[in-house]
């Protein structure tokens, strides 16, 4: 009898390989050097779990994390993460006292945001030293990165707004209220020519800001795609999310091509096995019927867990045009998803192969066991790997491999 403890029962799980994540980060740091690497951990680290991922990033030597929202930053600070945290999306009435106190870097694209940060700095300073006189230097200036819209048309100041924002930022910085930690934008990645135009726009805006007295500590523009393919646009820092999780964003390029390893492996266990006759329809709407007698196995994970309904085989009315459906791996062999993907489960056609309840099914992973990678799955159904990982629901436990 083995002395090993029995594994707890499970139906579905996402295994997160922190070693692979750290290796990806170290590799990407070498690729983008001498630029710094900012690892993006928004959306709960693309579904991988922000807190363990952030600690792994620190172990890999990364100094910057992009978190998007302040709630994400506060969670990481509470979990003991001391890296530079960069947030850039806020509620319209956001106050920044806690962000100032916790030394969170703030992306700023409006005068209202800039003034709200200044107000927060003053409030924090008064709370710390209520008897200090007017003009007393503050201990915790706001850490800001001014954002310019260079064509993506999401956040970012417009060209017409830029001078007023820079002028106000310079004035506040001269009083020690702010520290100009950075200036940044984001590429649309629609074409090389348009990305080049965006880079030129940012360079010109930084030049105009310098004439107004602004001195930024770092410039950042590129993310996972352009950060790999346009080295001349890396500037002082590159913000990467997808690549760090082993999800390359360039068409026709695999993780292995980039020297990366997919970090998430999604698995489930066979819950039922049934033999069915030729012509038998399965799951809702009978969108697939067995072409011959066969065996189907029930896999207990569905669209409530983030598996798109478009993943099934041979249905023209769902998914991208020409989609052929996804397959899963079992015992080193791939089997197609057949019939509608339901909320909690789907079926696979295993033919005449011997399959038993409890057998492990791998939906996507590194590809080493014959399974699809998340990028390959996404390509088959007309989406992107980031969406699949982000959609994996809370009902799927994350299991961390150090």
Q: What integer is the mean pLDDT of 180-202?
A: 96
Q: Is residue 238 situated within a structural domain?
A: yes
Same domain, 277 and 201: no
pLDDT score at 1: 32
Beta bridge partners of 98: none
Same domain, 191 and 83: yes
CA distance 82 to 95: 21
Same domain, 198 and 235: yes
Same domain, 167 and 306: no
Same domain, 242 and 281: no
Picking from 186, 180, 181, the residue whose alpha carbon sits closest to that of residue 238 is 186
Which structural domain range is residue 333 located in? 264-383
pLDDT score at 330: 97
CA distance 301 to 272: 13
Q: Which of 197, 217, 249 is the last residue of a domain?
A: 249
Q: What integer is the mean pLDDT of 191-215?
A: 97
* pLDDT tens digits for range 302-333: 999 999 999 997 644 333 334 468 999 999 99
Q: Which of 207, 226, 249 is the last residue of a domain?
A: 249
Same domain, 181 and 321: no
* pLDDT tens digits for range 41-88: 999 999 999 999 999 999 999 999 999 999 999 999 999 999 999 999
Tokens of 69: 């929202």
Q: Under a CB-based contact definition with an 8 Å cutoff, are residues 349 and 335 in contact?
A: yes
Residue 114: give its domain's CATH number: 3.20.20.10
Beta bridge partners of 400: 16
Beta bridge partners of 328: 335
pLDDT score at 8: 78
Residue 126 scores a pLDDT above 80: yes
Same domain, 82 and 136: yes
Residue 42 known to be catalytic: yes
Q: Is residue 402 situated within a structural domain?
A: no
Q: Under a CB-based contact definition with an 8 Å cutoff, are residues 17 and 265 in contact?
A: yes
Same domain, 168 and 48: yes
Catalytic residue among 42, 46, 90, 245: 42
pLDDT score at 6: 53
Same domain, 231 and 281: no
Which segments within 323-375 are labelled E, that is strand?
Answer: 327-330, 333-338, 346-351, 360-364
Catalytic residue among 21, 46, 184, 284: 284
């Amino acid at each position: 009898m083995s002395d090993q403890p029995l594994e707890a029962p499970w139906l579905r799980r996402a295994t997160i390989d922190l070693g692979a994540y750290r290796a990806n980060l170290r590799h990407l740091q070498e690729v983008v050097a001498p630029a710094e690497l900012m690892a993006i951990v928004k959306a709960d680290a693309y579904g991988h779990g922000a807190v363990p991922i952030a600690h792994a990033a620190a172990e890999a030597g990364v100094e910057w994390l992009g978190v998007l929202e302040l709630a994400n930053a506060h969670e990481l600070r509470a979990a003991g993460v001391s890296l530079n945290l960069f947030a850039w999306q806020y509620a319209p009435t956001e106050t920044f006292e806690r962000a100032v106190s916790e030394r969170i870097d703030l992306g700023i694209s409006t005068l209202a945001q800039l003034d709200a940060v200044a107000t927060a700095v003053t409030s924090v300073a008064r709370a710390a030293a209520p008897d200090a006189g007017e003009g007393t230097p503050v201990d915790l200036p706001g850490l800001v990165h001014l954002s310019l819209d260079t064509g993506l048309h999401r956040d970012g100041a417009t060209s017409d707004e830029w001078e007023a924002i820079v002028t106000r930022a310079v004035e506040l910085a001269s009083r020690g209220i702010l520290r100009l930690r950075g200036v940044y934008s984001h590429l649309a990645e629609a074409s090389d020519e348009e990305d080049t135009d965006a880079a030129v726009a940012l360079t010109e805006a930084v030049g105009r800001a310098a004439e107004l007295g602004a001195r930024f500590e770092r410039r950042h523009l590129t993310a996972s795609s352009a950060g790999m393919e346009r080295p001349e646009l890396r500037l002082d820092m590159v913000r990467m999310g997808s690549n760090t999780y082993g999800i390359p964003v360039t068409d026709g390029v695999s993780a292995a091509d980039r020297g990366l390893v997919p970090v998430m492996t999604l698995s489930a266990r066979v819950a039922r096995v049934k033999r069915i006759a030729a012509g038998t329809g399965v799951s809702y709407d009978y969108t697939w019927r067995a072409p011959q007698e066969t065996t189907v196995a029930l896999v207990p994970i569905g669209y409530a867990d983030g598996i798109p309904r478009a993943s099934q085989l041979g249905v023209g009315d769902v998914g991208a045009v020409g989609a052929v459906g996804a397959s899963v791996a079992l015992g080193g062999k791939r089997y197609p998803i057949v019939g509608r993907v339901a909320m909690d489960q789907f079926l696979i056609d295993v033919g005449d192969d011997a399959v038993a309840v409890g057998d492990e099914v791998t939906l996507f992973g590194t590809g080493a066991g014959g399974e699809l990678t998340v990028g390959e799955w996404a390509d088959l159904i007309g989406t992107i790997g980031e969406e699949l990982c982000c959609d994996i629901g809370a009902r799927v436990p994350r299991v961390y491999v150090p």
